[in-house]
Every structure is written in C-alpha cells, then in structure tokens.
Amino acid sequence: MGFDDPVVIILILGVAVLLFGAGRIPAFARSLGQARKEFEKATKGSFEESPKIPTVAAATEKTIGGTEDPLIEAAEKEGIDTHGKTKQEIASALSWKLSKVRE
C-alpha cells in the first residue's frame, strides 16, 4: 500500500476534511498556490513588484525651496561621491567622514 493507491489518497483526504473542515481546505490550497508562484518568481529573479529605492540622481532633480538638497551639498563639499547612492547611504558616509575629522 503506497501513496499511489487510490484508497490511501481517499483516506488522507477524508482525514484532512475531518481535521480542517471543508471550508478551510480551499483557502489552504490557494495559499499554497500563491506561495509556489512567489517562490518561482524569486528563483527566476523577477522582482518587478519590489519597491524602487530613490537614488541621489532622482533626488537632485527635486529641489528644496529653490536650492539643492543640503545633505547632497554637504556631502559634495566633503568630497563624497553622491552619484547613484540613496540619501541614507550619503548620510552614513557623511556621518562617518565627519566623525573621522573630529578625531
């Protein structure tokens, strides 16, 4: 008696209906299908739904009060390359550089 036997499959399905109830089984199957789709997307490298992280190139297009962003100006004055970095990365680099100057 293996898992390919129809009697075993019917017994397993009967036990599943008794344990979970008939209403919860379709929801469980649906969640398994969604998890499988997400896993396949991740293994293929398709991250089309991932949120876009704004880079400094996009941030420099937007000005604050008619002037450039003060964070970017300060980083450029300290000689930090801001091209292609997020504001958080620039802030971290600026903080690190300023802490080294104080030492």
Residues 61 and 29 grouped into a single domain: no
Residue 88 sits in which domain range?
56-102
Below-50 pLDDT ranges, the chain: 60-67
Are 61 and 91 contained in the same domain? Answer: yes
| Residue 65: predicted pLDDT | 44
Say yes or no: 65 and 91 in one domain: yes
Q: Are residues 95 and 69 in the same domain?
A: yes
Q: Is residue 51 domain-resident?
A: no
Assigned domain for 87 exists: yes
What secondary structure does DSSP assign to 52-100, as a single string?
A: PPPPHHHHHHS-BTTB--HHHHHHHHTT---TT--HHHHHHHHHHHHHH
Q: Quick check: is 15 in a domain?
A: yes
> Do the domain assignments include residue 50?
no
- pLDDT tens per residue, range 45-73: 755 555 555 555 555 444 444 446 888 88
